[in-house]
């Protein structure tokens, strides 16, 4: 049935277009069969040994396996096949299969014959298939088989990187049919012609069109190539016509439109797009043979070492984010609408720039950028390291040429980038001479790629994005190759202090005068489940990330010479090999993996908004818990607000509580939460303008004195060895930091928070992936050397859950993105202890490492009846080494 529909579509569209020689593009996304079993092209189509699964494109074969506890994901071969009817209306056309991108080596077979192949997972490509096709639209005569391979290949970039190399046909595939006389398709550039604007100013603009015509017939053709320019309202504003006589083969042509008066300029504030329609027709008969339509935007720009970026003659600070192309549960196989949605979110934040990192993305991304008004850079995935082989160099060059040619006409692009942190993983660390040669080879590759880029497109700047090792990039000569430098900086995150960021900016400005730069990355992980009122570096709290962004943006804004602030990253993304609080995820997104805003997103919105703006940044932290202050049955906790107004009024349950001045986009107020729902309203005020926000926050007030009758104790969830909070939305639970025991209340006796030896980055705990749980942060911290845990609860029946994980010992792979130091070897001293609850032995000779393994979650529920004044006393008696406890839950049953 599906095949019939496809056939019908083909027939329908060809019938409606066949009167004119316009190209046909029809998606071929539906009802493919897919397998990872071994399959052979020469084997029978029907072979029953192979299990096929019916899938639609976009599709990846790794979406499910990148989040499990098994290290790694399938990197190998996958097969796609389908049967397809092709209308005989296309018999006299040139037919191609156009792939917007597939990861990473693609071979295409039509009816058992190899039609073509492509290397590289991120650029589009066109495979000519006419000569293999059977044209009979009535039956599914054609067999298309696509073999894809996402194995590691030392000659194909990226070799290593902090993201997942999902395999599959993860973008749209089209059947494209053109007349034998058509705009040439090279480097996968299906848009036909290259359009540039060699000069633009407010009064005048010039347009240059260049392209090539392919004549695939045996005869000489007299042709007319005409280019028409239309404004937004489809009024024709200019036209140029050239005559071309072409023999069989490809023939280049160029056209100029010398002067467009008073061009409407393109800018993020007003992304005014013209369109350019270029047509080939037969000179004598006037019959139209091919036609392409492209976007056109008039803008000019400059990167300057002192003034930063200039757009249309004015200094213009670029502020935005990078983007990876994956999404929760979908891997990299996203429909176009979801790509658009990301850009809409960046725009809504006030961003004017997208770094399309670390590879070219779906064509819909740049369409969105052109239309929404977002400036961009695009890059090829040469990340971390290179292979010194001809084949590697060739693949880099091919990717670069494809990237530039395919995307050339997008007015949103200002930068082509061809290397990212290429000195992060220096090879030959134990052979200095060889390493010098390796660096020299990298430099040579950079020079080659830079000159290809400038030759292919003299109108854009080139960029290399470096990590923060200023001297190394300088010494190797890499800082003098590209038009501008991108710095990926993480001071105050992976290493150093926030203030080191500011000094880095000044250092560049002083020691590399004449060399424009932008901050191509900066960011801090924010696990949306982790909150803290004492945020510290690497605690993964949302609060630390907000502070980090506030600091960085201010430092950049203060310095006109810094061209831009590009946050890493717009959204959380998958990096299968990562561990930390949310294993497999890089949490530096301003949005979560499924695109929910985190606090720093609102901070940017406040800083960039042109209208009055206010937002309770942590308004989404709806489940809160805190301890009542003994007298008033309230708990005071700070709440942060992002706004662009002068001051903010806070109201709780309709009553004024405070007015605060906004400093650098943020302010906060201690809110006296009551038990239950608290309605928090905030109002921003400035010059008679007002704006407001509201959050309904569910507060669970805990008694300090557990026998307090006015606030009966019902339960508590405690993280040991941490000063952070953890929110489990699924279970509707909040975990709070521990305290030291005081009579009447609850807390820990003895021991100290566990801190990983030799890891200066972590404030406490570990960043190991805790197996057997998704709530890693519950287990990643612990009290080591604990003697007792006491809760002076009243009489009743309780359930106590003890949460353990052995945090020490070898099982850990080093952190994938360890930018600063190496982990010290961990001691794995044996620890054996007994656990007694109210003097009843509940676990004896507990040896976590031996019984469960290192870094595995262990939860034990114990029923306890409390019959006397002393409440619950949990004792930890050491047999060997120091006892530990990671988290504790106590629930009153009755």
Active-site amino acid positions: 421
3-state secondary structure 655-720: EEEEEEECECCEEEEEEEECCEEEEEEEEEEECCEEEEEEEEEEEEEECCCCCCCCCCCCEEEEEC
Q: What is the CA angle 807-812-818, rounded to 5?
A: 110
- C-beta of 148 vs 161, nearer to ligand GCB: 161
Q: Is 420 in the site for ligand GCB (CB under 6 A)?
A: yes
Alpha carbon of 584 to those of 71, 323, 331, 384, 655: distances in Å? 10, 17, 12, 19, 44
Binding mask 844-873 for ligand GCB (x = CB under 6 A): ------------------------------
Element of type H or E holding 629: none
Q: How far is the CB of 605 from ligand GCB (least distance, A)?
A: 22
Question: Residue 357 and residue 750: Cα distance in Å, rounded?
Answer: 49
Where residue 373 falls (left for φ over 0; alpha for ψ -120 to 50; beta otherwise) is: left
Binding mask 791-820 for ligand GCB (x = CB under 6 A): --------------------------x---
Q: Which does 362 bind (CB under 5 to 8 A by kind): ligand GCB, Ca ion, none?
A: Ca ion
Q: Is 361 in the site for ligand GCB (CB under 6 A)?
A: no
Q: Which does 336 bind (CB under 5 to 8 A by kind): ligand GCB, Ca ion, none?
A: Ca ion
Q: Is 572 in the site for ligand GCB (CB under 6 A)?
A: no
- C-beta of 130 vs 420, nearer to ligand GCB: 420
Q: How far is the CB of 489 from ligand GCB (least distance, A)?
A: 9
Q: Print burial letters for 566-588: b (CB count within 10 Å at least 16), e (below 16).
A: bbbbbbbbbbbbbbbbbbbbbbb
- C-beta of 340 vs 601, nearer to ligand GCB: 601
Among 100, 172, 521, 576, binds ligand GCB (CB under 6 A): 521
Question: Residue 135 and residue 173: Cα distance in Å, rounded?
Answer: 19
- Chain residues 151-180 in contact with ligand GCB, contact rule CB under 6 A: 161-162
Q: Which residues pair with 98 in a beta bridge?
A: 126, 174
Cβ neighbors of 523 (< 8 A, separation 6 or more) are 490, 493, 545, 548, 549, 567, 568, 569, 588
Q: How far is the CB of 376 from ligand GCB (least distance, A)?
A: 17
- C-beta of 65 vs 336, nearer to Ca ion: 336
Q: Which does 838 bind (CB under 5 to 8 A by kind): Ca ion, ligand GCB, none?
A: none
Exposed/middle/buried for residue 596 (C-beta within 10 Å: 0-12, 13-18, 19+): middle
Q: Is 362 in the site for Ca ion (CB under 5 A)?
A: yes
Q: Is 504 in the site for ligand GCB (CB under 6 A)?
A: no
- Chain residues 90-109 in contact with Ca ion, contact rule CB under 5 A: 100
Joined together, the tokens standing for residue 433 give 């001479």
Joined together, the tokens standing for residue 198 give 């060699």
Q: How far is the CB of 326 from ligand GCB (least distance, A)?
A: 12
Alpha carbon of 574 to those of 163, 324, 326, 328, 524: distances in Å? 6, 9, 7, 8, 16
Q: Is 336 in the site for Ca ion (CB under 5 A)?
A: yes
Dihedral sign computed on CA atoms, order 608, 613, 618, 620: negative
Q: How far is the CB of 333 from Ca ion (least distance, A)?
A: 10
Residue 749 DSSP class:
E
- C-beta of 336 vs 469, nearer to Ca ion: 336
Q: How far is the CB of 44 from Ca ion (least distance, A)?
A: 33
Question: Do residues 640 and 617 touch, judged by C-beta distance below 8 A?
Answer: yes
Q: Which residues pair with 689 in a beta bridge?
A: 686
Alpha carbon of 599 to those of 530, 685, 720, 762: distances in Å? 12, 21, 26, 22
Question: Residue 802 and residue 831: Cα distance in Å, rounded?
Answer: 17
- C-beta of 32 vs 568, nearer to ligand GCB: 568
CB-nearest residue to ligand GCB:
162
Q: Is the peptide bond before 705 cis (omega within 30 degrees of 0)?
A: no
Task: State the pairing for strand pair 461-467/413-420.
Answer: parallel
Q: Is 488 in the site for ligand GCB (CB under 6 A)?
A: yes
Q: Which does 520 bind (CB under 5 to 8 A by kind): ligand GCB, Ca ion, none?
A: none
Q: How far is the CB of 417 from ligand GCB (least distance, A)?
A: 11
CB-nearest residue to Ca ion:
172
Q: Is 290 in the site for ligand GCB (CB under 6 A)?
A: no
- C-beta of 146 vs 716, nearer to Ca ion: 146
Q: Is 385 in the site for ligand GCB (CB under 6 A)?
A: no
Q: How far is the CB of 325 from ligand GCB (least distance, A)?
A: 13
Token look-up 């509707």 returns 732
Among 107, 172, 326, 421, binds ligand GCB (CB under 6 A): 421
Question: Do residues 319 and 352 touch, judged by C-beta distance below 8 A?
Answer: yes
- C-beta of 768 vs 856, nearer to ligand GCB: 768
Element of type H or E holding 254: strand 249-261
- Chain residues 165-204 in contact with Ca ion, contact rule CB under 5 A: 171-172
Q: Is 823 in the site for Ca ion (CB under 5 A)?
A: no
Q: Which does 683 bind (CB under 5 to 8 A by kind): ligand GCB, Ca ion, none?
A: none
Q: Is 467 in the site for ligand GCB (CB under 6 A)?
A: yes
Query: What interhelical angle do 363-372 and 336-349 show, nearest 10?
Result: 30
Residue in 758, 612, 754 with CA at minimum distance from that of residue 686: 612
Dihedrals phi, psi of 321, to nearest 5 degrees: -150, 165
Q: Is 587 in the site for ligand GCB (CB under 6 A)?
A: no
* Stretch of 112-120, 244-252, 330-338, 471-479 contacting Ca ion, by CB under 5 A: 330-338
Q: Is 588 in the site for ligand GCB (CB under 6 A)?
A: yes
Q: How many residues bind ligand GCB (CB under 6 A)?
A: 11
Q: Hey, how many other C-beta atoms are within 10 angstroms of the C-beta on 389?
A: 11
Q: Which does 488 bind (CB under 5 to 8 A by kind): ligand GCB, Ca ion, none?
A: ligand GCB
Q: How far is the CB of 754 from ligand GCB (least distance, A)?
A: 24
Q: What is the CA angle 770-536-539, rounded to 5?
A: 10
Question: Residue 603 and residue 85: Cα distance in Å, rounded?
Answer: 53
* Stretch of 18-26, 163-171, 597-605, 742-750 contacting Ca ion, by CB under 5 A: 163-171
Token look-up 């902090």 returns 162
- C-beta of 55 vs 718, nearer to Ca ion: 55
Q: How far is the CB of 644 from ligand GCB (least distance, A)?
A: 28
Q: How far is the CB of 132 from ligand GCB (least distance, A)?
A: 40
Q: How far is the CB of 54 from Ca ion (least distance, A)?
A: 20
Q: How far is the CB of 380 from ligand GCB (least distance, A)?
A: 14
Q: Which does 172 bind (CB under 5 to 8 A by kind): Ca ion, ligand GCB, none?
A: Ca ion
- Chain residues 549-568 in contact with ligand GCB, contact rule CB under 6 A: 568
Among 406, 586, 625, 773, binds ligand GCB (CB under 6 A): 586
The dihedral over CA atoms of 586, 587, 589, 593, expressed in degrees to the nearest 10, equals 80
Question: Residue 855 and residue 828: Cα distance in Å, rounded?
Answer: 12
Residue in 332, 393, 388 with CA at minimum distance from that of residue 365: 332
- C-beta of 162 vs 776, nearer to ligand GCB: 162
Question: Residue 491 and residue 467: Cα distance in Å, rounded?
Answer: 11
Binding site for ligand GCB (CB under 6 A): 161-162, 420-421, 467, 488, 521, 568, 586, 588, 817
Binding site for Ca ion (CB under 5 A): 100, 171-172, 336, 362, 364
């Amino acid at each position: 049935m599906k095949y019939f529909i496809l056939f019908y579509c083909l027939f329908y569209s060809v019938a409606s277009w066949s009167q004119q020689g316009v190209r046909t593009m029809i998606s071929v996304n539906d009802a493919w069969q897919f397998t990872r079993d071994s399959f052979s092209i020469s084997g029978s189509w029907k072979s029953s040994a192979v299990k096929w699964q019916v899938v639609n494109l976009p599709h990846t074969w790794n979406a499910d396996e990148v989040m499990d506890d098994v290290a790694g994901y399938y990197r190998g071969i996958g097969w796609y096949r389908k049967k397809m009817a092709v209308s005989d209306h296309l018999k006299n056309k040139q037919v191609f299969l156009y792939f917007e991108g597939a990861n990473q080596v693609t071979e295409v077979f039509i009816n058992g014959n190899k039609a073509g192949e492509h290397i590289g997972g991120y650029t589009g490509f066109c495979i000519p298939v006419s000569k293999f096709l059977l044209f009979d639209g009535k039956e599914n005569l054609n067999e298309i088989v696509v073999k894809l391979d996402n194995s590691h290949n030392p000659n194909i970039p990226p070799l290593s990187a902090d993201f997942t190399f999902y395999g599959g046909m993860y973008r749209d595939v089209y059947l494209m049919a053109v007349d034998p006389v058509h705009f040439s398709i090279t480097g996968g550039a299906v848009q036909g012609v290259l359009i540039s604007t060699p000069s633009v100013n407010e009064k005048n603009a010039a347009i240059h069109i260049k392209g090539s015509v392919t004549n695939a017939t045996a005869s000489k053709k007299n042709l007319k190539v005409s280019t028409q320019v239309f404004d937004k309202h489809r009024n024709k504003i200019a036209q140029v016509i050239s005559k071309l006589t072409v023999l069989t083969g490809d023939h280049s042509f160029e056209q100029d439109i010398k002067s467009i008066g008073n061009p409407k300029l393109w800018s993020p504030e007003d992304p005014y797009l013209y369109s350019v329609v270029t047509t080939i027709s037969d000179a004598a008969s006037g019959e139209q043979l091919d036609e392409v339509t492209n976007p056109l935007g008039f803008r000019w720009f400059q990167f300057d070492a002192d003034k930063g970026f200039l757009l249309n003659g004015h200094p213009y600070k670029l502020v935005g984010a990078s983007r990876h192309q994956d999404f929760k549960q979908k891997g990299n196989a996203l429909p176009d609408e979801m790509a658009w949605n990301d850009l809409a979110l960046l725009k809504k934040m006030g961003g004017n720039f997208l770094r399309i990192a670390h590879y070219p993305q779906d064509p819909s991304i740049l369409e969105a950028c052109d239309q929404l008004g977002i400036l961009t850079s695009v890059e090829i995935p040469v990340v971390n390291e290179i292979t010194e082989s001809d084949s590697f160099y060739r693949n880099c060059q091919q990717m670069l040429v494809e990237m530039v040619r395919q995307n050339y006409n997008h007015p949103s692009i200002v930068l082509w980038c061809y290397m990212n942190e290429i000195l992060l993983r220096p090879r030959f660390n134990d052979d200095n001479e060889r390493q010098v040669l390796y660096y020299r080879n990298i430099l040579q590759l950079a020079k080659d790629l830079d000159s290809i880029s400038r030759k292919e497109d003299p109108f854009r700047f080139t960029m290399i994005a470096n990590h923060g090792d200023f001297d190394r990039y300088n010494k190797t000569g890499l800082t003098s190759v590209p038009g501008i430098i991108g710095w990926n900086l993480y001071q105050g995150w992976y290493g150093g202090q926030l203030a080191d960021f500011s000094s880095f900016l000044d250092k560049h400005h002083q020691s590399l005068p004449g060399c424009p730069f932008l901050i191509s990355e900066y960011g801090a992980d924010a696990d949306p489940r982790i909150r803290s009122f004492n945020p510290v570096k690497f605690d993964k709290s949302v609060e630390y990330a907000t502070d980090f962004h506030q600091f960085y943006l201010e430092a950049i804004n203060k310095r006109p010479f810094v061209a831009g602030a590009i946050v890493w990253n717009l959204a959380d993304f998958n990096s299968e090999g990562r561990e930390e609080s949310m294993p497999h995820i890089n949490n530096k997104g301003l949005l979560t993996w499924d695109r929910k805003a985190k606090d720093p997103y609102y901070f940017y919105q406040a800083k960039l908004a042109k209208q009055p703006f206010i937002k309770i940044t942590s308004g989404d932290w709806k489940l809160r818990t805190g301890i009542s202050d003994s007298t008033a049955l309230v708990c005071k906790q700070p709440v942060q607000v992002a706004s662009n107004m002068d001051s903010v009024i806070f109201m709780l349950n309709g009553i004024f509580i405070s007015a605060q001045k906004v400093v650098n986009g943020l302010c906060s107020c201690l809110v006296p939460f009551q038990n239950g729902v608290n309605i928090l309203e905030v109002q921003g005020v400035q010059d008679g303008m007002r704006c407001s926000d509201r959050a309904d926050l569910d507060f669970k007030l805990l008694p300090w004195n557990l026998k307090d009758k006015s606030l009966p104790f019902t339960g508590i969830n405690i993280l040991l060895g941490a000063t952070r909070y953890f929110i489990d939305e699924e279970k509707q639970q909040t975990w709070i930091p521990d305290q030291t025991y005081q009579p009447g209340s609850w807390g820990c006796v003895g021991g100290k928070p566990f801190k990983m030896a030799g890891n200066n980055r972590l404030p406490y705990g570990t960043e190991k992936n805790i197996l057997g749980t998704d709530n890693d942060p519950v287990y990643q911290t612990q009290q080591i050397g604990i003697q007792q845990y006491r809760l002076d609860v009243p009489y009743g029946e309780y359930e106590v859950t003890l949460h353990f994980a052995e945090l020490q010992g070898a099982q850990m792979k080093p952190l994938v993105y360890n930018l600063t130091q190496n982990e010290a070897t961990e001691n794995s001293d044996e620890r054996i202890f007994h656990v007694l609850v109210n003097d009843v032995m509940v676990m004896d000779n507990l040896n976590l490492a031996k019984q469960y393994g290192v870094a595995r979650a262990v939860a034990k529920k114990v029923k306890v009846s409390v019959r006397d004044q002393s409440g619950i006393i949990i004792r930890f008696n050491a047999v060997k080494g120091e006892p530990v406890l990671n988290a504790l839950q106590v629930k009153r049953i009755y």
